[in-house]
Amino acid sequence: MREELVNRIEIDLDNLLHNYQVTRNHVAPAEVAAVVKSEAYGHGAVPIARALQEQGCRTFAVAFVDEGIQLRRNGIPGDILIMGATLPNQFRAMADFALTPVLADMERAEAWAQLAQQLDERLPYHIKSDVGLGRMGLMPEQGEEAAATARALDRHIELVGISSHLSYPSGDEELNLSEYQKFMDFCAPFEDFEGLQRHLAASQAAARFESMHLEMVRIGGLLYGINHIEPAPLDLRPVLSYSTRVAQVKTLPAGWWIGYNGQHPVTEPTDVAVLPLGWTDGLASYHIGSTDLLVKGQPCPLVGTCTDFAMLDISRVSNVQVGDEVVLIGTQGDAAITAIELGKGAGMSTGQLLGKISLRVPRLYFSEGRCREELSILNPK
């Protein structure tokens, strides 16, 4: 490991694979498609996909075409679903890299079929329906018509899956069951398509509703040990920890200010630790006043953030030195901060928070206690 590392994210690949197995057992015989979009929620798409693939995962889901190309260029085999909004000018690139689009309407399926004819290849595709999220996808009543078009195009393109996404998976059971029913109604006219993969559930629905596993589930959070349901429905282990080191210690006098634009007034002499990371590294102005980080196992309030710096009030901890470890996500002594808590401090979902941590924070991959790989701006994938 490089001696000069200060900010670091450590990824425990053994725990990732444990979570994958636990999830797989929970949803079997349904297949687990690993959601590795947004750099696998900040964990690093390529090392995560590679570890999962070695463990038998054969379907990966991303949002953007470039994310799919990144996986292919790094040798990830299997099905790579592009779940996001794809436009016809991206179709050729998807075909060239054997990526599978999840198409939002049948006009796009026609364009995909035209390309298939040109290439003289029967290209695979999924379609998506909108059951309540109000974003891309066919409306529930369009199932019949979509199935007829899929049948007409079947010579050129192969419909392998139908997907949808629940709008409020942590919410009311009744709402979730009604969205599930809309999905099943949409899928009903496709009965004659053999081996179709229906996939609706992401982590929360997969954990909560067995009936929604169908042929496949698309899982991000559970793989990364992120659980929002109490009591925890699965035996998940934490995968990511995030730490930095104290860069300067100082005592600020009453009447001083911390941060830009008078972010935090100093009303009494305050011991402050300056940290070498900021907005580019997952922190936000909204964290000020709502978030503690750990120093010597003690929670210390965050009192300032800038692009590259953050300031902690360490008044309640004695003898803090330059170089001492500060934990943003993970455990220190008996204390712990989860990614969910750090996100909540700034009103962000966990995926939002982790996706905000730029690659200038090196990701270090551990298995059996040893660092096996680094992903960083010096070692990009």
Ligand X SMILES: Cc1ncc(COP(=O)(O)O)c(C=O)c1O
Active site residues: 37, 260
DSSP letter for 326, please: E
By C-beta, is 38 or 53 nearer to ligand X?
A: 38
Q: Do residues 353 and 343 make contact, with C-beta atoms less than 8 angstroms apart? A: yes
The number of residues making up the chain comes to 381
Residue 19 and residue 333 in contact, taking contact as beta carbons nearer than 8 Å: no
Query: Cα–Cα distances in Å, from 109 out to 82, 128, 149, 154, 323?
Result: 14, 11, 8, 10, 56
Locate all alpha helices (DSSP H) within 102-251, ordered by sequence: 106-119, 143-153, 173-187, 203-208
Which H helix or E strand runs over 331?
A: strand 325-332
Please return the burial class of 196, using the count of CB atoms within 10 Å of its CB with bins 0-12, 13-18 and 19+.
middle
Binding site for ligand X (CB under 6 A): 35, 83, 165, 202-204, 218-221, 351
Select 7 or 197, whichever has its Cβ closest to ligand X: 197
Helix, strand or coil, per DSSP, at residue 160: strand
What is the rounded CA–CA span in Å between residue 63 and residue 82?
Answer: 5
Residue 49 and residue 207: Cα distance in Å, rounded?
22
Considering beta carbons, is residue 104 or 326 the nearer one to ligand X? 104
Instruction: State which residue, 2 or 135, has the beta carbon closest to ligand X.
Output: 135
Q: Give 83 or 357: the residue with its C-beta nearer to ligand X.
A: 83
Q: Give the shortest CB-329-to-ligand X separation in angstroms.
A: 16
232, burial (CB in 10 Å: exposed 0-12, middle 13-18, buried 19+):
exposed
Return the number of the residue (94 or 272) whose C-beta is nearest ligand X. 94
Please give the residue whose beta carbon sits closest to ligand X in the complex: 220
| CA-closest candidate to residue 191, choices 136, 247, 132, 151 | 151
Q: Which two tokens stand for residue 292?
A: 């503690």
Would you put residue 363 in left (φ > 0), alpha (ψ -120 to 50) or beta?
Answer: beta
